[in-house]
Amino acid sequence: MPRVFGDSLLHISEVDAIVENHVPLLEMIPPEPEPEDEIIGKQIADLVPDGATIQLGVGGIPNSIARYLVGTRTWEYIPRFLGRAW
């Protein structure tokens, strides 16, 4: 199940009902990147300076940008969505 950090924990005494569910959570599996996505992603990632803060969207190009940025320099991501590139 998704989980958040911070002051978000509940004691069992604060819960009125618990429903068990054994169905897997839905997952969006991205398609394999197109060759163009990889080319554009690398070119854009090369433009991101060390220490930059970025926000990425959803799709092949943002995933490719993230793949090229991971482990290459120090940067901060403002999350809206977190794809498999991470």
- The predicted-structure confidence for 2-17, as pLDDT tens digits, reads as follows 666 777 788 889 889 9
Taking only the tens place, the pLDDT of each residue in 6-52 is: 777 888 898 899 888 898 888 777 788 899 999 999 999 999 888 88
In the beta sheet, which residues pair with residue 76? 53
User: In angstroms, rounded to a whole number, what is the distance separating the alpha carbons of residues 24 and 86?
Assistant: 21
* Residue 23, CA distances (Å) to 15, 20, 27, 48 in order: 22, 9, 12, 40
Kindly report the pTM of this predicted structure. Answer: 0.60
